[in-house]
Amino acid sequence: MTPRKYELGKRAASVDETRRRIIQATFDLHAEKGVVATSMHDVAERADVALRTVYYHYPTVDDLVAGCGSKVMALLAPPTPAIFSGLDTLEERTRRLVQDLFAMYERGSAMIEVARCEQGEVAGLAGFVADDAAAREALVREALQPFKPRPRAVQEAAALTDFYVWKALTQQHLSTRQAVDVVVRSLAAVLGVDAPGKKRPER
């Protein structure tokens, strides 16, 4: 490696490390006190860099929010339709749906709460909340698709699997596992009394 390439490599590594520290500081501060209450100065101080360095790499709050995106998604690890593979009954599929969504809420409760509460003030958060709602509804549709549910039932199931349902139940001193049981029973009522034992229709 030539001296020039070596120096360029060192410089790139230094830039990457600076950006990593800024994003880690931002991620931690947002979880601790929210996006709106976190100033650029707070980020610079936590990351131990100059304020101008933060602005150079991330000129706006939305840039910082976007920069944290991959860390947030790694923390949440949202469930995908693959979770329903091999599950035939409606009870199995709804239980897996609720278990995986509620586990995600438990992992990322601080970040999800910030996004829900501050989405009206930070455009980047509004996009995250909208995408999350769309992904949840798509997952609900996938869970119920073999049973041809009424459109209204899909909407009700999406509502029953919302973050604030998990939060309300756990605030009443239920564990996440107990909250799952409550919502699975509620979904059975919404989808029909025979729902827990209903089989996937033959193709």
Residue 3 corresponds to which tokens in the numbers above?
A: 């001296």
pLDDT < 70 regions, the chain? 1-13, 193-203
Q: Which domain holds residue 157?
A: 77-197
For the stretch 68-85, pLDDT in tens is: 999 999 999 999 999 999
Q: Of 40, 68, 96, which residue sits at a domain end?
A: 68
Q: What's residue 10's pLDDT?
A: 58
* 28 and 122 co-located in one domain: no
- End-to-end CA gap in the chain: 62
Q: Is residue 203 in a domain? A: no
> Within 13 Å of residue 180, how many CA atoms lie on the same side as its CB?
19
* 95 and 57 co-located in one domain: no
CATH of residue 63's domain is: 1.10.10.60
Among 79, 84, 102, 90, residue whose Cα is nearest residue 178:
102
